[in-house]
Amino acid sequence: MEGYHVYQTPLSSRYASKEMSYLFSPANRFYTWRVLWLNLAIAEKELGLPISDEAIEQMRNCLHLDAEQFEVASQEEKKRRHDVMAHVHTFGKVAPAAAGIIHLGATSCYVTDNADLMFLRQGLTYLIRSLAILISRLSSFAAQYRALPTLGFTHFQPAQLTTVGKRATLWIQELLWDLRNLQRARDDIGFRGVKGTTGTQASFLALLDGDHEKVEQLDRLVTKLSGFEYAYPVTSQTYSRKIDIDVLGPLASLGATAHKIATDLRLLANMKEVEEPFESTQIGSSAMAYKRNPMRSERVCSLARHLMVLHQNALMTASVQWFERTLDDSANRRITLPEAFLTADIVLSTLQNISEGMVVYPKVIARRIAQELPFMATENIIMAMVKNGGDRQEAHEKIRVLSHEAAHQVKHEGLENDLIERVKNDPYFDPIKDQLDALMDPASFIGRAPQQVDKFLKNWVEPALNMPELREAIEKSVKVELSV
């Protein structure tokens, strides 16, 4: 990542959480560069290079940049056309005892790439915590509505009944897979370490008088000081851009999950069965005052599409890294990586907001069930007649005729489904008329949905959220919500 580039905070950061916005801010980026330079100096001093205690102390005391230092760095960058060297110069101004040893033996990617790996790992940690909170909120929703019957849809056509809570478990299960994927990606991230200009560590071998063991020790020391368990065993000038693919892939997959959830909510809002939060003073349309547009869910879909396509950038960038590196990755990555994390952060926070205020309308749901359930109950009616000594084929023909009559009423006359009334008025069905109410109970059509919700939450969600890191995030979010 060499050359002249002015770092700017992406536009999306103004809508992201403070943590995520700061993570990819210029202030944190350049602070992290200084931390890495300090770690390198500490390790080099430990291995015998002539670096004074005063130099180390001055570096440690000047890790944060003030406005004046930002201005110095900006002017230097304009002059030198090189961002890293501009900041080496700026750091040396405030830590003069270290000016001669800052960046000793390193290439620009020592700070830029190692810092990016730190940002990727921390960004995934933020997303993992936010995702756990969302899963927790939706799990409470699923538990609350575990047994509320609702019309299921396949091909967006009425199908067998399910429950509101069971449908929510379908969302949660995909989010659990996203949680697993994000955790895997985070735990797999290593450190570039100190590898030199083409990854051969030649400069460090020269600094350490040809001592190969000391070079390896330097790599291990800096890696440990920077908070990583291991460094990639081999690199070019950069860490492999395939790492970016491995990180953005799970984020793109999360985008697909979020888009599906938000789309389901938009469809449910159209049917007036479930709505996202809608403020008392909120305006749905400038012209149509009655509208309650699902604008939060629409925003999730919009941003989720953006998140999904960012993965393509990582794939393309990794595929064109010639030999030990080319610079055509730099400008792309400076946009793509922050945007992916900031967008994922906004998507999760918006979904959390939705999940904390979803409104369910049981009477609307019951009315829609009543419109479709008579047709679904025909098989139960036939079986009841057979149990009472009737002939299946005869019962089937009777129901077929009545069903077609009722369907005509619905489709051609715009009337309600009166199939059950027609059954009640037909003497043929007298033997089971006292059973019709029980046969039409929606609860008898939902199968094991409530039990599936209970087992899923107990056997899959609870263990997944039982990590101390996730429990702490969930408990903290609950306290914040209660305080508000």
Fill in the amino acid letter for 217.
Answer: Q
Whether the CB-CB separation of 166 and 455 falls below 8 Å is answered with no
Whether the CB-CB separation of 236 and 206 falls below 8 Å is answered with no
Cβ-based neighbour number of residue 221 at 10 Å: 20
Q: Which regions of 29-148 does DSSP assign to beta strands (E)? A: none
Provide the greatest CA pair distance for the chain.
105
Q: What is the DSSP letter of 191?
A: B
What burial class does residue 100 get, using C-beta atoms within 10 Å of its C-beta: 0-12 exposed, 13-18 middle, 19+ buried? exposed
**Residue 345's closest CA among 116, 123, 133, 185?**
123
Cβ-based neighbour number of residue 405 at 10 Å: 12
The tokens describing 412, both together, are 């051609």
Q: What is the DSSP letter of 156?
A: T
**Residue 316's closest CA among 304, 331, 305, 301?**
331
Distance (Å, whole) CA 83 – CA 220: 27
DSSP string of 86-125?
A: HHHHHHHHH-GGGTTTTTTT--HHHHHHHHHHHHHHHHHH
Rg of the Cα trace of the chain?
31
Q: Which helix (H) or strand (E) holds 274?
A: strand 274-275
Whether the CB-CB separation of 481 and 133 falls below 8 Å is answered with no
Distance (Å, whole) CA 267 – CA 269: 5
**Residue 304's closest CA among 259, 247, 245, 349?**
259
Active site residues: 155, 285
Tell me, rounded to whole angstroms, the distance of Cα 221 from its chain centroid: 33
Distance (Å, whole) CA 39 – CA 225: 6
Whether the CB-CB separation of 217 and 159 falls below 8 Å is answered with no
Backbone angles phi, psi at 359, to 5 degrees: -115, 125
The tokens describing 187, both together, are 């735990």
Distance (Å, whole) CA 120 – CA 114: 10
